[in-house]
Amino acid sequence: MGASVAYHLTRLGITDIVLVEREAQLAAGSTGRNAGGVRHQFSTEQNVRLSLESIRSLERFEEEFGVSIDLHQDGYLFLLSRDDDVELFRASVDLQRNLGVPTEWLTPAQAARLAPGASVDGVIAATFCAKDGVADPNGVTMGFVRAARAAGAEIVRGSEVTGIDVVNGRVAGVRTTRGSISAPMVVNAAGPWAGRVGRMAGLEVPVSPLRRHIFFAQPAAGASWDDAPHRGQVPATRILVIDFTTSFYFHRDGGQLLFGMGDPAERAGFDTTVRWDFLPEVVEAGVARLPALADAVVSHAWAGLYEMTPDAMPIIGPAPDCDGFYVIAGFSGHGFQHSPAAGRVLADLVTGRDPGLDVSPFALERFAAGTQAAERHVV
């Protein structure tokens, strides 16, 4: 988000920018640990609009930024096994189609044909959008950063923001482990840590960190998913399949299979240690949808942090009561894919332009006002 905002500000002629990153590398937070999924299939109009703009931008990204982002639009397939979920998706699919997204309803048999190897036992309906897909988060971050730097932005790595100076209700600068920077505008793009950074300015930014795992599997030593006897056990494309009941999902990642699932027992916290004791639960849910997982070898895993807000909608915009302070955070597990549009929207708001969509569902004030329209396709 920070990289996207920096880039979009430079496009509007603001080039006196410092992007401050605590870690030695960029994309070291949630962005470097995500599954790379990009989808239009959301339940709120604002998220669908962010997806439409962002995915259009990703389709042109390599040409525009000169970096590879490994975009594969092989679709997202949601498998639904409960009547209530079908009802929820009915409204979402109508919304998506009204906004121009080509989401389709599929029968379980059609879904099985699209995702060879997936089991559709108990599935009553499925939705598929062929324009959804997966891409490389590091490539996208580097594309934004390089373009921002070329336009004059300064990128400082290994520097932690430790304080924010606010004078008479106006932001005046940031203090970092490598010195102070005076600034009339500060953007909090600290992902799961946005609550901490908000508190430095005396603000409540309700973003809580939630650990999520990604596991990688292969067939037994030396074998490939693409050759006999494993061919057909997992899809050959990068289609992303989600069992909406359990939140188990998988997609091909080159020669490997990437999979994950939310843990309803996980509590908010910054710990990103891999909990290997959670793997059996994931595999049990996973085998029901992808039988090949039963004999697969899990080679490695990592955990990262979702950045949850109470309504699973992002915060994009100015902070009330602190002039010059902006927030772009709380994407609740789907921020990589929304980074192109969200950064553009924030840059418009910072420069007083019309962002071209209703931003009230993104406003920080909504939590106090109790006017949330929650995103319900959180997986």
Nearer Cβ to ligand FAD (112/293): 293
Question: Whole-number minimum distance, CB 306 to ligand FAD, in Å?
Answer: 5
Interacting residues with ligand FAD (CB under 6 A): 1-2, 20-23, 28-31, 33-37, 160-161, 189-193, 197, 212, 214, 304-307, 329, 331, 333-337
Question: Whole-number minimum distance, CB 253 to ligand FAD, in Å?
Answer: 11
Nearer Cβ to ligand FAD (112/342): 342
Question: Is 105 within 8 Å of 111 (Cβ atoms)?
Answer: no
- Taking the C-alpha atoms of residue 305 and residue 213, their distance in angstroms, rounded to an integer, is 9
* Residue 77 neighbours by CB under 8 Å, 6+ apart: 106, 111, 114, 115, 118, 126, 127, 128, 239, 240, 241, 242
* Residues across the chain: 379
- Taking the C-alpha atoms of residue 301 and residue 303, their distance in angstroms, rounded to an integer, is 7
Nearer Cβ to ligand FAD (71/112): 71
Question: Whole-number minimum distance, CB 70 to ligand FAD, in Å?
Answer: 13
Question: Whole-number minimum distance, CB 37 to ligand FAD, in Å?
Answer: 3
Question: Whole-number minimum distance, CB 82 to ligand FAD, in Å?
Answer: 23
Question: Is 174 within 8 Å of 19 (Cβ atoms)?
Answer: no
Extract the tokens encoding 146: 């390089």
Angle of CA points 158, 347, 193, to nearest 5°: 40
Nearest alpha carbon to residue 111 among 239, 267, 248? 239
Nearer Cβ to ligand FAD (228/265): 265
Q: Cis omega (within 30 of 0) on the bond before 209?
A: no
Question: Whole-number minimum distance, CB 211 to ligand FAD, in Å?
Answer: 8
Nearer Cβ to ligand FAD (33/366): 33
Question: Is 3 within 8 Å of 145 (Cβ atoms)?
Answer: yes
Nearer Cβ to ligand FAD (32/355): 32
Question: Whole-number minimum distance, CB 21 to ligand FAD, in Å?
Answer: 5
Place of tokens 């699932």: 261
Angle of CA points 142, 303, 293, to nearest 5°: 110
Nearer Cβ to ligand FAD (36/324): 36
Extract the tokens encoding 132: 């959804």
Question: Whole-number minimum distance, CB 304 to ligand FAD, in Å?
Answer: 3
Place of tokens 């009230």: 360
Nearer Cβ to ligand FAD (219/318): 318
Question: Is 331 within 8 Å of 313 (Cβ atoms)?
Answer: no
Extract the tokens encoding 2: 């920070």
Helix (H, G, I), strand (E, B) or coil at 173: strand
Nearer Cβ to ligand FAD (230/238): 238
Question: Whole-number minimum distance, CB 22 to ligand FAD, in Å?
Answer: 3
Question: Whole-number minimum distance, CB 103 to ligand FAD, in Å?
Answer: 17
- Taking the C-alpha atoms of residue 307 and residue 31, their distance in angstroms, rounded to an integer, is 11
Nearer Cβ to ligand FAD (10/47): 47
Element holding 195 (H helix, E strand): helix 194-200
